Amino acid sequence: MAKIIGGLAVSHTPTIGFAVDHNKQEESAWAPIFESFAPMQKWLDEKKPDVLVYIFNDHVTSFFFDHYSAFTLGIDEQYEVADEGGGPRDLPAVKGHAALSQHIGASLMADEFDMSFFQDKPLDHGLFSPLSALLPHEGGWPTQIVPLQIGVLQFPIPTARRCYKLGQALRRAIESFPEDLNVAIVATGGVSHQVHGERCGFNNPDWDEQFIDMIVNDPERLTEMTLAEFATLGGMEGAEVIMWLVMRGALSANVKKLHQAYYLPSMTGIATLILENQSREAPYDVQQRQRDKIAQQMAGVEKLPGTYPFTQARSLKALRINRFLHRLIQPAWRERFLTDQKAMFAENKLTDEEQKLLRELDWRGMIHYGVSFFLLEKLGAVVGVSNLHIYSAMRGETLEEFQKTRNQQVLYSVAGKAKA
């Protein structure tokens, strides 16, 4: 079974990544940052966690306000470094633990957290700034991650209590994963700071100290605070410390504090914290109970003939071809698709199998492969094939045979009037 060995909390200011990239670790203004990171580096080196469940927020880099979610879980096998305006940092991509991610996602949904999920998105300084100071990365990172992005920039945002409850659900999810893994929870963000408006530059070291004490010893009391109270005490952007409550909720009620440090060099209080889990095994199998809960909603669907639920695993496997087909909503893309398929296939690195499925319009084969039906109907609209033709192909029947099973013999597709 997967085991949570402890939690780390750390600010994610870009200051940290800047200092790493410019080799400023020994300079007087920057050295205290890295002195506070040293115990965390040592702990990670000694414990060697297999996976870091990494809680952070994006800074309007890969997640924009046209579709902004409260809780967004990465389910991918790899995460690149994002370009935040001046080019991406010179860091390797970090591997994801897709199986654990997908299990966590299923468990959180079973616990009635309405999650969003992402694939193939680069991650910004919210993740990579502290990660680059915590772990060696020459030639690759020594651990895998499960990234959990919290939407804290566009209000309304989750409450402190909801974040704490998410952490509790995260514990159930991780500990019910059947593979033996050592997992550390990393929470980033904060502490006190504000970077906009006339209050820009606000800090409150006294509150930072009190908050860290409470996150260790009395996290439930923090969940009673409103977001406005967090902003009053720690600055508007400093309210992102509610993400630390996700980490704390995932740990045992009693924890052992191994390290705490604080430094305020400029705009953001930089805090570091190590909490070691003090959990004990329950006298009954709560992990199996959680796995049963996860499986309950889909139990029996595997007995339905000719039925292929579009799971995260299927989505991840077929992401390349699904993205290719999704771009058929763009006029220039579909016009080129009709005239220059071979070059498009090569440019988009479609496999031989994927190319064959598209060339032959193998509707049922694409479903078996992992293509979403709702992208097939877009393809049908482009090549002049009705939805009914696709439906009949699913059943291995001619259109005429399939139409005999319908109350009305009609044809339709998602094509606009001009195409129709």
CA distances from 377 to 114, 329, 338 (A): 27, 11, 16
155-165 exposure pattern, b = at least 16 Cβ within 10 A, e = fewer? eebbbbbbbbb
Neighbouring CB atoms inside 10 A of 281's CB total: 10
Active site residues: 125, 193
6 forms beta bridges with 184, 276
Instruction: Quote the CA–CA distance of 35 and 32 in Å, as a whole number.
Output: 5
Query: CA gyration radius for the chain?
Result: 25
The secondary structure of 28-44, three-state, reads CCCHHHHHHHHHHHHHH
The Cα 20–Cα 270 span in angstroms is 15
Beta bridge partner(s), residue 324? none
Q: In what order do the strands lie in the sheet with 182-188?
A: 116-118, 71-74, 144-150, 51-56, 182-188, 3-10, 270-277, 255-263
CB 218 within 8 A of CB 164: no
Q: Which residues 6+ apart lie within 8 Å of 329 measured at CB?
A: 378
DSSP type of residue 144: E
| Element holding 203 (H helix, E strand) | none
Q: Alpha carbon of 343 to those of 78, 195, 340, 352, 374: distances in Å?
A: 27, 47, 6, 13, 24
Decide: helix, strand or coil at residue 260: strand
Q: Are 201 and 266 in contact (CB under 8 A)?
A: no
